Amino acid sequence: MPASLDNAAASLLARYKAVRNATATLCRPLSPEDMMVQSCPEASPVKWHLAHTSWFFETFVLSEFLAGYTPFHPDFRWLFNSYYNSLGEMPEKKLRSSFSRPPLDLILSYRASVDAGIERLLQHTVEDEAARRIALGIEHEQQHQELIATDVKHALFTNPLHPPYIEDASPAQGTTIAPPLEWIDFSPGLTEIGLTPDPNAIDCFAFDNETPRHPVYIAPYRLASRLVTCAEYLAFLDQNGYNRPELWLSEGWTAIRSEGWQAPLYWQRDSETKSGWSIYTLHGLIPLEDLSETPVCHLSFFEADAYARWTGYRLPTEFEWEYAAREAAPGARSNLLDTGSLHPTPAGHLSGLQQIFGDVWEWTASPYTGYPGYAPLPGALGEYNGKFMSSQMVLRGGSCVTPASHIRATYRNFFSPATRWQFSGLRLAR
């Protein structure tokens, strides 16, 4: 076999191990009890994430490509299936918190066994399809790393003690003041959006929903140089923003009324702070005044849209966002999971476009649909992205809990517009 292909298998294995280890690192501050909590319908227990990410490699890679592979446990194929209907039945999502059995030790053995299987498979050159699926499994695991962080945050917040996930580093802004908002001009005209990955370059990964690359006409627009801050959002609250129906989409108004929302998720009234508010973070509760220059987060699309309307501006489309971001790359200044801050941080004093990658996912005005010519992956993996292309909005740019090697300018995240448990915020456009 050609040496270059062996190198490809070796580099895929190195990437696999690094990402699997990163999941273990994320779980280190958690107790087995922490890993059992499922505190809202969107979230899953950490223990389930640990099993399900292994299930993905077992189901889509080992069972199909490792000769003589015997599944780790006969029940795991359906027990840890998330939503792949073509593979058969699965437990209801809300039951995941009842999985006290199988015990955590067995889940950890499952992970180790799957790791050994992937290592065995990658001792030799693998067929292209197996390599593509391992690469997909790696990206899938990184998506679940982000979910572990956001689900743990919700679980610990729901605990009446509001315990921190980690106590050491504080995300407080210090003396940093966010720079004044500048408007950056773009006049693109006809441009290309999306990515068509080179099938020969295994390092060039894209999800099917980022493809195919296609022409889009974009009218001249202006984009805010940085994200909206907590102080700016507090002004919206103080101006009675949550009680002015003219600012809200109909569904948004219904949502804030029925849910009783008067502030972003994790904002709590607190008479002992100067601002009258505290914000729950992965580092515990922090007075709002200590986070006022940091980007506002945990907003639904409806809140982001209402805020933009209140300012007289709007949310960018996903195409405007991508056009602006294409020259940028996740860099040393991007506040992604790898920085360890676990909370958005203030923009620096640089001029030009800032905070494009990391800090918060940016809600866009674009509905999540397939690009012209979009085709889901063949087989059960076609259920990965395509079947969610209704009633969801696109978010761009990654957050402070997105792994740095996972994000890129063409990446499309998507959630239903009332979703708030992700690190989601906004950037204005006009």
Nearer to Fe ion, 93 or 162 (CB): 93
**Cβ(359)–Cβ(337) below 8 Å:** no
Q: Which of residues 18-47 bind Fe ion (CB under 5 A)?
A: none
With CB under 5 A as the contact rule, which of the stretches 74-82, 200-208, 284-292, 298-306 interacts with Fe ion?
Answer: 74-82
CB of 147 to Fe ion, least distance (A): 8
- Residue nearest Fe ion, CB atom distance: 82
Nearer to Fe ion, 40 or 166 (CB): 40
Q: DSSP letter string over 218-253?
A: E--EEEESSPPBHHHHHHHHHTTGGG-GGGS-HHHH
CB of 140 to Fe ion, least distance (A): 6
Contacts with Fe ion by CB under 5 A: the residue count is 1
CB of 60 to Fe ion, least distance (A): 11
Nearer to Fe ion, 54 or 355 (CB): 54
CB of 264 to Fe ion, least distance (A): 26
With CB under 5 A as the contact rule, which of the stretches 79-87, 148-156, 189-197, 373-381 interacts with Fe ion?
Answer: 79-87
| C-alpha pair distances (Å), 234 with each of 230, 291, 294, 428 | 6, 11, 12, 16
Site track for Fe ion across 300-339, x = CB under 5 A? ----------------------------------------
CB of 17 to Fe ion, least distance (A): 20
With CB under 5 A as the contact rule, which of the stretches 26-34, 82-90, 150-158, 422-430 interacts with Fe ion?
Answer: 82-90
245 phi and psi, to 5 degrees?
A: -55, -25
As a whole number of angstroms, the distance between CA 320 and CA 369 comes to 16
Strands (E) across 36-188 are located at: 183-186
Nearer to Fe ion, 150 or 354 (CB): 150
Nearer to Fe ion, 60 or 72 (CB): 60
Q: Within 13 Å of residue 271, how many CA atoms lie on the same side as its CB?
A: 0
Nearer to Fe ion, 16 or 277 (CB): 16
Q: How far apart, in Å, do the first and last CA atoms of the chain sit?
A: 56
As a whole number of angstroms, the distance between CA 365 and CA 15 comes to 34
Nearer to Fe ion, 145 or 292 (CB): 145
Q: Structure tokens of 287?
A: 């007075």
CB of 415 to Fe ion, least distance (A): 15
CB of 358 to Fe ion, least distance (A): 22
As a whole number of angstroms, the distance between CA 53 and CA 45 comes to 13
With CB under 5 A as the contact rule, which of the stretches 21-29, 75-83, 247-255, 341-349 interacts with Fe ion?
Answer: 75-83
**Cβ(383)–Cβ(365) below 8 Å:** no
From the DSSP assignment, how many helices (H) and strands (E) are in the chain? 10, 11
Q: Structure tokens of 45?
A: 């227990």
Contact positions vs Fe ion (CB under 5 A): 82
